[in-house]
């Protein structure tokens, strides 16, 4: 593709098991083989450099850039030292490192060019380089992952990379080195029976992979916070913000999943993203005033919206990526840790967050559409009002906005539609409703019509139900549902 600063982007796991011990586990071997396919894919790219962002290279003082022209060492991972040593020698594009650091400087963040003998390049970058670009065919550039950075900042660091590519007139292969879910098994395992550490993490990984398979990079970036919370994303999965910033914050990609396996319980995926339209850099001015702007970010932080889930429609699982080998593990030798956990009665924290549904009418007070607590979804009282307006279906006003007529059937249908939308935005559905309380303002006249519509919707679902008459409801509606459902 012409006029693009990125020929292709990749997301890879950088755990050393894939490089050093593929023979120990069928899953690790499949990832090793998939890495070979990626390597061949990269070899076919018309690119000037390979740019790495690894969640395993953490910085505190802003951002650091590898600027040693030929860093060389014999690396041993601190945790996985039993797997062996990894000799490495990189060829670094130091000109690009300087240009990139210059662009980040302009954003006001601290930068540092690293050119020290023996500087410990992180395991993730080394593993990726050994498996993707072993002969230094492409010179590399490596930028750190700031441990304190949030969405706005990390996105801007990605945008700065795009500007640096444009400024240097170079085209890059971009590599994000990051696991998806990042919960390791905390006990010895038989690698042949490695599996994702929990079904929940596996399900979240698959959601993300389905979006990536569809090329929806921007969509994934929007779900990073929720994913990180639910699946212990690797460094909060913030690398995705960097990648999204660099790639122009769009869904214009063709995604391909080369592999998805467990590596010691973590979600290890190999993904490629090919631009369907040229990737372009956005200007510094636009970057500073982007929708990721500081004010929006600050409001989000200060109002603790971190705990607010605005999930889009649940993504149906497609067989677009390989199934991980999920086998039953042998009896784990976890006696000690298990005892500890029992002793301190450590319990998993119950999920507790709000759901705001973009497809439903705005709340008339300071409450969310729904709240998930543990394994239950509690919906606020839902009326028939329509999203984006104050219209109430099936109602006729006179010139003084006094109600002269209304259709309880139409209103009930609208309520059920709203309930359905909120449930779906929360990842649930109408058939998961377990209890409904119904409030009518005129039991005598409205019960038959409401009951008829209700029966159509719920006759097969059969939630428990209580119907009461109330003196009035806020706004001139005639019916409201209060729903409890399974998520």
Partner 1 sequence: MNKGSIVAGVLAPHPPHLVYGENPPQNEPKSECGWEGLRWAYERCRANIKALKPDVLVVHSPHWPTVVGHHFLGLPHFKGLSVDPIFPHLFRYNYDVKVDVDLSLQIRDVCAKADMHTSVVKNPDFRLDYGSIICLHLINPDWDIPVVLISSNQAAFYFSNEVGAQVAKDLGEATRQAIEISGKRAVLLASSSLSHRHFVHEPDLPEDMSFERIHHHGQYLWDMKVIDMMKKGQCRELLDIMPEFIEMASAEVKVGSLNWMLEAMGVPNYPAVVHGYGTVIGTGNAVVEWNPSLKGKN
Given the complex with partner 1, which of 155 and 357 has the nearer CB atom?
155
* Smallest distance from partner 1 to CB 329, Å: 14
Q: Distance between CA atoms of 140 and 133, rounded to whole angstroms? A: 9
Could you say whether residue 406 binds partner 1 (CB under 8 A)?
no
Q: Distance between CA atoms of 431 and 128, rounded to whole angstroms? A: 45
Residue in 16, 22, 27, 62 binding partner 1, rule: CB under 8 A: 62
Could you say whether residue 114 binds partner 1 (CB under 8 A)?
yes
Residue in 36, 89, 110, 313 binding partner 1, rule: CB under 8 A: 110
Could you say whether residue 333 binds partner 1 (CB under 8 A)?
yes
DSSP character at residue 460 = T
Given the complex with partner 1, which of 334 and 467 has the nearer CB atom?
334
The label of the residue with tokens 């006003």 reads 397
Could you say whether residue 57 binds partner 1 (CB under 8 A)?
yes
Given the complex with partner 1, which of 115 and 320 has the nearer CB atom?
115
Residue in 43, 69, 72, 81 binding partner 1, rule: CB under 8 A: 81
The 3-state DSSP class for residue 395 equals strand
Could you say whether residue 85 binds partner 1 (CB under 8 A)?
yes
Residue in 33, 76, 457, 461 binding partner 1, rule: CB under 8 A: 76
- Please list every residue from 164 through 193 that binds partner 1, using CB under 8 A: 183-188
* Smallest distance from partner 1 to CB 167, Å: 25
Nearest Cα neighbor of 98 from 128, 125, 68, 53 is 68
Could you say whether residue 202 binds partner 1 (CB under 8 A)?
no
Residue in 10, 204, 264, 450 binding partner 1, rule: CB under 8 A: 264
* Smallest distance from partner 1 to CB 306, Å: 16
Q: Distance between CA atoms of 162 and 243, rounded to whole angstroms? A: 10
* Smallest distance from partner 1 to CB 28, Å: 16
Choices 71-79, 91-99, 291-299, 357-365; region in contact with partner 1 by CB under 8 A: 71-79
Choices 54-62, 276-284, 399-407, 458-466; region in contact with partner 1 by CB under 8 A: 54-62
Q: Compute how many residues bind partner 1; rule: CB under 8 A.
A: 44
CA 284 to the chain's CA centroid? 26
Greatest CA separation for the chain: 85
Q: What are 390's two structure tokens?
A: 């104050």
Q: What are 402's two structure tokens?
A: 């006094």
Q: Distance between CA atoms of 225 and 482, rounded to whole angstroms? A: 29
Contacts of 448 (CB under 8 A, 6+ apart): none
Strands (E), 60-133: 63-66, 72-75, 86-89, 111-114
Q: What are 463's two structure tokens?
A: 């939630």
Could you say whether residue 79 binds partner 1 (CB under 8 A)?
yes
- Write out the H or E segment, with its range, that includes residue 242: helix 239-247
Tell me the H-state helices in 262-373.
284-288, 294-302, 335-343
Q: Beta-carbon neighbour count of residue 20 at 10 Å?
A: 20
Q: Distance between CA atoms of 133 and 90, rounded to whole angstroms? A: 10
Could you say whether residue 346 binds partner 1 (CB under 8 A)?
yes
- Please list every residue from 130 through 169 that binds partner 1, using CB under 8 A: 146, 148
Residues that bind partner 1 (CB under 8 A): 57-62, 74-76, 78-79, 81-82, 84-85, 109-110, 112, 114, 116-120, 122, 146, 148, 183-188, 264, 333, 335-337, 339-341, 343-344, 346
């Amino acid at each position: 593709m012409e006029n693009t600063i990125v020929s292709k982007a990749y997301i890879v796991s950088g755990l050393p098991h894939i490089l050093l011990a593929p023979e120990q586990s069928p899953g690790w071997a499949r990832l090793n083989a998939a890495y070979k396919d990626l390597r061949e894919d990269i070899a076919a790219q018309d690119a000037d450099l390979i740019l790495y962002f690894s969640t395993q290279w953490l910085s505190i003082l802003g951002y650091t850039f590898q600027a040693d022209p030929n860093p060389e060492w014999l690396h041993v991972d601190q945790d996985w030292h039993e797997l062996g040593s990894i000799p490495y020698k990189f060829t670094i594009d130091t000109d690009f490192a300087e240009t990139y650091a210059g662009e980040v400087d302009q954003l006001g963040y601290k930068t540092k060019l690293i050119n020290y003998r023996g500087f410990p390049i992180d395991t993730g970058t080394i593993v990726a380089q050994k498996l993707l670009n072993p002969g230094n065919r492409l010179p590399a550039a490596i930028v750190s992952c700031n441990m304190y950075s949030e969405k706005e900042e990390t996105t801007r660091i990605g945008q700065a990379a795009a500007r640096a590519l444009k400024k240097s007139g170079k085209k890059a292969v971009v590599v994000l080195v990051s696991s998806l879910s990042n919960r390791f098994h905390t006990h010895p395992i038989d690698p042949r029976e490695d599996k994702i550490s929990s079904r929940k993490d596996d399900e979240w990984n698959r959601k993300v992979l389905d979006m990536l398979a569809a090329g929806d990079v921007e969509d994934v970036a929007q779900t990073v916070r929720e994913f990180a919370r639910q699946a212990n994303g690797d460094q909060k999965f913030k690398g995705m913000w960097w990648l999204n910033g660099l790639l122009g914050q769009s869904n214009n990609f063709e995604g391909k999943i080369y592999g998805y396996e467990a590596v010691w319980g973590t979600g290890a995926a190999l993904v490629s993203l090919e631009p369907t339209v040229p990737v372009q850099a956005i200007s510094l001015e636009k970057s500073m005033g982007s929708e990721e702007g500081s004010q929006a970010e600050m409001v989000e932080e200060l109002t603790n919206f971190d705990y607010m889930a605005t999930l889009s429609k649940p993504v149906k699982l497609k067989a677009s990526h390989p199934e991980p080998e999920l086998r039953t593990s042998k009896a784990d030798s976890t006696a000690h840790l298990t005892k500890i956990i029992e002793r301190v009665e450590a319990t998993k924290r119950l999920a507790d967050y709000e759901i705001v549904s973009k497809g439903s009418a705005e709340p008339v007070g300071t409450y969310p559409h729904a709240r998930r607590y543990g394994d239950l979804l509690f919906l606020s009282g839902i009326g028939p009002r329509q999203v984006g307006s104050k219209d109430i279906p099936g109602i006729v006003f006179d010139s003084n906005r006094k109600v002269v007529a209304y259709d309880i059937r139409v209103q009930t249908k609208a309520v059920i539609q709203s309930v359905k939308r909120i449930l779906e935005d929360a990842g649930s559905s109408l058939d998961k409703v377990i209890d409904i309380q119904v409030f009518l303002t005129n039991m005598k006249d409205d019960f038959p019509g409401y009951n008829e519509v209700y029966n159509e919707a719920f006759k097969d679902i059969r939630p428990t139900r209580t119907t009461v008459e109330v003196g009035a409801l806020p706004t001139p509606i005639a019916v409201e549902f209060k729903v409890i459902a399974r998520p």
